[in-house]
Chain A
């Protein structure tokens, strides 16, 4: 209850400051619309925003799922094989030195204007944090558990599956929580570079036509979606960690 009150108070404060800025500086709506106007647009254009929002949500969710699977598999592969570590890790680190944003146009060229290039963008942006968080955890299995497994006669694959992976799941969950926040960024960048649908496209379009209120409405929807996604992934990870099968 207390938390709800605090959240409500802080939201009210933010909206109040925003409205006060608009009124006191007498900003024209095309520079900065007030919260009331944005809310009005949000409601008035709800069908439009929902249509584009749904596209972005699909891109983000598919990107997130692919990122979890590919990142998870890569981390296990790297942790299992010293050869893979030596060959592939430098490549992965180098790939992180390339600004992912710069790849967006080429992805659009390769994969077209549809969903694929945005999913690829979301995947690219989350792949490294997921892989890296899970991999680090896989390489830090408590030594006593490894000793125990080896004395019990576990081969490397069973040691991985029964001890290293379960022990590293909190690290994987950390990666997924980060991914939940990053994936929408990837999808939006993809939409900015070349799309005919999605919240990123809608924002760019609204901006170009000085429909600043629509731009803000779309931005708020995106932020709320990202927050909810993060909460959902966080809750899912918690439950999953609590219920790790016996």
Chain B
């Protein structure tokens, strides 16, 4: 049994009679960050939702399993695009939401400790509406960490943030998600180049793997090799976008 299990997604996805993607075989390395890039509409988010057990529309033939053979339910945390905080709960209540939804008493001291680590301690009793976009995203990250799951699925979590805040969030997320199995769907080649231990591009023709920069994650925003990989990823995405 591995602490942060690898995931294997192997199969073909259809919506109605139309093939969405596959057959493909995506290995998500245990304890590492796997970034998934690709043109819009290619099925990146669907793949993530399938892994989370949320997709009810797509017909997936194949298997989605952890390396230890145990079921995935209850071992996954999800952080989606937009912070999706509950406006009627304060920051602390949002971070402790998971326990309430499972009918357990929330561990408030731990929630406060996580908020402190995110620099949100003074905002614990505020409503999400009163926070900035970056702060809200930190609350969402705190909520994800509060769940303390070995597998974390990130669906373009920082796409709505400005460039500077996004870079900060990437550092924060990389630091706090270290050691977990992370699948991160992103549109941003720069994000993939900074965050990915493993980088894949999903396109209509299938899955391509791109060698990540050698530096440790999170890589510096101005690291030349990271920027070179970012450039290669962007060029490849442009070619895929024009159907090359």
Bound pair (A, B): yes
A contact residues vs B (CB 8 Å cutoff)? 142, 144-145, 147-155, 158-159, 162-163, 166-167, 169, 244-246
Query: Which positions 74-113 of chain B face chain A at CB distance < 8 Å?
Result: 74, 76-78, 80-82, 84, 86, 88-90, 92-93, 97-98, 100-103
Q: Is residue B52 contacting chain A, with contact meaning CB distance below 8 A?
A: yes
Contact B102 A152 (CB under 8 A): yes
Interface string of B17-56 (1 = CB under 8 A from A): 0000000000000000000000000000000010011100
- Cα-based distance from A119 to B201 in the complex (angstroms): 65
> Looking across the interface, which residue of chain A has its beta carbon closest to that of B74?
A153
> Looking across the interface, which residue of chain A has its beta carbon closest to that of B100?
A162
In the complex, chain A residues whose CB is within 8 Å of the CB of B191? none
Identify the interface centre among B97, B101, B103: most chain A CB within 10 Å of its CB. Answer: B101
- Cα-based distance from A246 to B89 in the complex (angstroms): 4
CB distance from B99 to the nearest CB of A (A): 9
CB distance from A64 to the nearest CB of B (A): 24
Contact A158 B82 (CB under 8 A): no
- Cα-based distance from A153 to B102 in the complex (angstroms): 6
Contact A162 B97 (CB under 8 A): yes
Contact A151 B103 (CB under 8 A): no
Contact B93 A147 (CB under 8 A): no
Contact A151 B97 (CB under 8 A): no
- Cα-based distance from A148 to B144 in the complex (angstroms): 10
- Cα-based distance from A244 to B49 in the complex (angstroms): 31
Question: Which applies to chain A's interface (DSSP): helix, strand, loop or mixed?
Answer: helix
What are the 5 A-B residue pairs with the smallest beta carbon separation, nearest first? A154-B101, A244-B88, A144-B84, A151-B78, A152-B98
16 A-B interface contacts by CB (under 8 A):
A142-B84, A144-B84, A147-B78, A148-B84, A149-B101, A150-B54, A151-B52, A152-B97, A152-B147, A153-B74, A153-B98, A153-B101, A154-B101, A158-B101, A166-B86, A246-B93
CB distance from B177 to the nearest CB of A (A): 16
Q: Is residue B73 contacting chain A, with contact meaning CB distance below 8 A?
A: yes
- Cα-based distance from A142 to B81 in the complex (angstroms): 13
Contact A147 B80 (CB under 8 A): yes
Contact B52 A147 (CB under 8 A): yes
Partner of A144, one of B73, B82, B97, B103: B82
Interface string of B96-140 (1 = CB under 8 A from A): 011011110000000000000000000001000000000000000
CB distance from A49 to the nearest CB of B (A): 42
Interface string of B49-79 (1 = CB under 8 A from A): 1001110000000000000000001101110
In the complex, chain B residues whose CB is within 8 Å of the CB of A147? 49, 52, 54, 78, 80
Instruction: Take A151-B54, A244-B88, A246-B93 as given contacts and tell me if A158 and B100 are in contact as well, using a CB distance cutoff of 8 Å.
Output: yes
Contact A158 B102 (CB under 8 A): yes
- Cα-based distance from A163 to B100 in the complex (angstroms): 11
In the complex, chain A residues whose CB is within 8 Å of the CB of B54? 147, 150-151
CB distance from A155 to the nearest CB of B (A): 8
Contact A144 B101 (CB under 8 A): no
Contact B80 A148 (CB under 8 A): yes
Contact A154 B102 (CB under 8 A): yes
Contact A158 B103 (CB under 8 A): yes
- Cα-based distance from A141 to B78 in the complex (angstroms): 18
In the complex, chain A residues whose CB is within 8 Å of the CB of B92? 246
- Cα-based distance from A55 to B4 in the complex (angstroms): 68
- Cα-based distance from A169 to B88 in the complex (angstroms): 10
Partner of B86, one of A150, A155, A163: A163
CB distance from B107 to the nearest CB of A (A): 14
- Cα-based distance from A169 to B87 in the complex (angstroms): 12
In the complex, chain B residues whose CB is within 8 Å of the CB of A152? 97-98, 101-102, 147
In the complex, chain A residues whose CB is within 8 Å of the CB of B76? 151
- Cα-based distance from A154 to B53 in the complex (angstroms): 13
CB distance from A198 to the nearest CB of B (A): 39
- Cα-based distance from A147 to B89 in the complex (angstroms): 18
Contact A153 B73 (CB under 8 A): yes
- Cα-based distance from A134 to B90 in the complex (angstroms): 24
CB distance from B39 to the nearest CB of A (A): 23
> Looking across the interface, which residue of chain A has its beta carbon closest to that of B98?
A152
Extra A-B contacts (8), CB below 8 Å, given A148-B97, A150-B54, A151-B53: A145-B86, A152-B98, A152-B147, A158-B102, A159-B101, A162-B101, A167-B86, A167-B88
